């Protein structure tokens, strides 16, 4: 015998009724008032995570996690001629000549870079 479960639409229609009936049964309906002391006590309790109250980064490192140079066949196929040395110098903030022949420089150097070249066609 195959067991049948209620459809998601039926569950969605019935769930609010069950939840509101449970809340009223526990005295949590509109007639229940929460006093200011209870609110302040629950909000002042130390949370689990020490980082929960932070809304700003404390240490940010800027970088690029996936750089291909002319050593990778796919990047080389699209015209990239620069090698890993040029890519690292560019990431460090040096001005280099791009594959298109234009001088390029980052407005500020990166903190880190990953050269992710493929092993085929490596020099």
Residues in the chain: 123
Q: Give the SS3 label for residue 67.
A: strand
Beta bridge partners of 115: 67
User: What are the pLDDT digits (tens) for 26-57?
Assistant: 555 555 567 778 777 766 666 667 667 777 77
Is residue 70 within 8 Å of 82, Cβ to Cβ?
A: yes
Is residue 80 within 8 Å of 96, Cβ to Cβ?
A: no
Provide mean pLDDT across the span 10-14.
52
Where along the chain do its domains lie? Answer: 63-115
Which of 121, 80, 122 minimizes the C-alpha distance to 104? 80
Is residue 54 within 8 Å of 81, Cβ to Cβ?
A: no
User: What are the pLDDT digits (tens) for 50-97?
Assistant: 667 777 777 889 999 999 999 998 888 889 999 999 999 999 999 999
pLDDT at 112 over 90: yes
Whether this model's pTM surpasses 0.85: no
């Amino acid at each position: 015998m195959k067991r049948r479960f209620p459809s998601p639409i039926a569950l969605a229609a019935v769930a609010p009724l069950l939840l509101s009936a449970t809340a009223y049964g526990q005295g949590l309906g509109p007639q229940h008032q929460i006093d200011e002391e209870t609110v302040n006590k629950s909000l002042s309790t130390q949370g689990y995570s020490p980082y929960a109250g932070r809304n700003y980064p404390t240490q940010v490192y800027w970088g690029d996690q996936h750089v291909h140079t002319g050593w990778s066949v796919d990047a080389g196929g699209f015209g990239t001629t620069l090698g890993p040395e040029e890519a690292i110098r560019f990431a460090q903030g040096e001005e280099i000549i791009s594959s298109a022949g234009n001088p390029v420089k980052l407005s500020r150097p990166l903190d880190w870079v990953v050269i992710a070249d493929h092993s085929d066609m490596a020099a």
